[in-house]
Amino acid sequence: MWRNRSARDRWERLEKPTGAVQGPALPSESTVHFVLDLALRIGEVQMSSGAGASDATATIIAVANAYGMPHCEVDVIFTSITVACHRGVDLPPITSLRVVRSRSLDYTRLALVERLIRDIARGRITARDAHTELDRITSAPHPYPRWLATLAYAGMAAAITLLIGGTALVAVFAAGITALIDRVGRLLNKRALPFFFQQMVGGALATGCALAIVASNALPDGVTPTLMVAAAITVLLSGLSVVSTVQDAITGYNVTAAGRTVEVSLMTVGLIAGVVLALNIAVALGMPPLPLADPLAPSVLRLPLQTVAGAAAAACFALASYATPRAVVVAGVAGGAGAIGYSLLVLTSAGPIAASAVAATVIGFSGGVISRRLRIPPLVIAVSGMVPLLPGLTTYRALFELAVERNYTGLSTLMVATSVALALAAGVVLGEYLAQPVRYGLGRLERRLSGPRMSGPLRPTRRRLE
């Protein structure tokens, strides 16, 4: 029995709430679906261009917030993106899923999407107009013809040959081999051959063509053809998403990092299998093996040539990846800075792993500071700038020791090549992380710093739908 009426009334109010639980104020359900589809497609463009999972997550949240949906959760698992918009405890969330199927480098498309993201975050464009603009960006053809990309890859191989100590004649042969590999790879891609086998064919072609050039005595005495294979291997390694893999691992997206790691490992194994297959066939046929080229001793006199070659290699990679003309120039500057930084560190007796890490940190830092001001995605500068430093020659040396010399020291050499690649990627991510306080001022560090950003917004922008 209740002692008084007021106590009973208070209990009834607790047991039977007078009104339903109110959820957040959201647009209509059709508008929510429309905005989620827009955000997912933008995230898909970023992921297919090599951006990290943290970049795609921040972008999707920023787009959803800009159009009046502040309570969204994003889950990125490398091949798919899921977004859930919460509507309170009395309504089920609205969930959308998009699968990331194609992965191709088009940095102009990425730059246009970044500009669209800025317009969305600042309230300059409606959701429907943004959807129309995104359709136009994703359906547009590449800004340059495909043959120009082939020439850019050839120029990249020639520049890398000069960077690692080759002569002009060897650089010409390396350019020709790389152009052939690119055209064959394009034909195989049209027939939907898995990328593992495309990498295998590329490695076999690079080694087989170099062996054919040696057998035909097309090179003068004393000229080492190994650098042609090393340059071609570097070009084949440049398309791997090593930076994004390390970025995902550092920022806590372990599932996506694991998926990228498997992809990078398979592509590398395919390349290794192609090179080893060609070397074993040459040994079985009695052909003279390609002699190993010893790295040139550090020299101050070669610094100008290495700087120009590094800048040319980075600019050619950016051009082959369909970057904007401004991005090509900035990428060339970053590549030259990375090459001269690496060379100076080697002159001071620094090891290749430490020198690569420091040079990549400089590239990531300078790219993080400059690229945002020039409206260029930092990912373009980071990946292009580190390309000249990829361990193509070390990788070939390891494979030669394993396949031809039957020497297990090749395993340790291969580990050195892997460590250099990881040091480059980690250095780039660290440089971008260190660039954030410089961009915004040390006084705002605690409020603004949210991890290294290679693409997309630096933090979500909360706006209501007007």
Q: Any idea where the domains of the chain sit in the sequence? A: 29-139, 146-448
Interatomic CA distance for residues 224 and 207, integer angstroms: 13
Pull the structure tokens for residue 455: 């693409």
pLDDT above 50 for 260: yes
Which is more confident, 100 or 456? 100
Under the banding of pLDDT at 50, 70 and 90, the label for residue 4 is low
List strand residue ranges (DSSP E) for 23-169, in order.
Answer: 72-76, 80-85, 94-99
Tell me the C-alpha distance between 456 and 319, whole Å. 21
> Of 20, 36, 21, 28, which Cα lies nearest the Cα of 85?
36
Mapped onto helix, strand or coil, the DSSP state of residue 397 is helix
Show the tokens assigned to 269: 């194994």
- What is the separation of C-alpha 119 from the centre of its chain, rounded to a whole number of angstroms? 24
Lowest-pLDDT range of 218-227, 344-353, 426-435: 218-227
Nearest CA to 464 among 70, 68, 130, 127? 68
User: Which residue, chain included where needed, has tokens 């107009």?
Assistant: 129
- 185 closest CA partner among 150, 214, 220, 145: 150
Q: Are 276 and 229 in contact (CB under 8 A)?
A: no
Tens-place pLDDT, residues 287-338: 766 666 666 666 778 888 889 999 999 999 999 989 988 889 999 998 998 8
Mean residue pLDDT of the chain comes to 80
Confidence (pTM): 0.83
Q: Which among 296, 310, 295 is positioned nearest to 163, based on CA atoms?
A: 310
* Nearest to 410, CA basis, from 397, 393, 421: 397
Instruction: Give, in order, the Cα–Cα distances in Å from 49 to each of 46, 140, 307, 344.
Output: 5, 15, 28, 32
Mind listing the pLDDT tens digit for each residue in 331-360? 999 899 888 888 888 888 888 889 889 998
Residue 232 or residue 372, greater confidence: 232
Nearest one of 155, 159, 139 to 147, comparing CA atoms? 155
Asked if residues 393 and 229 have their Cβ atoms less than 8 Å apart, the reply is no
180, pLDDT greater than 90:
yes
Q: At which residue do the structure tokens 């806590």 appear?
A: 252
Number of helical (H) and strand (E) elements in the chain, helices listed first: 18, 3
What's the pLDDT at 311? 93
Regarding predicted confidence, which is higher, 38 or 9? Answer: 38
Name the most confidently modeled range: 3-7, 139-143, 155-159, 280-284: 155-159
- Over residues 70-124, the pLDDT tens digits come to 788 888 887 889 999 887 777 788 888 988 876 677 888 888 898 898 888 888 8
Residue with the bigger pLDDT between 445 and 65: it is 65
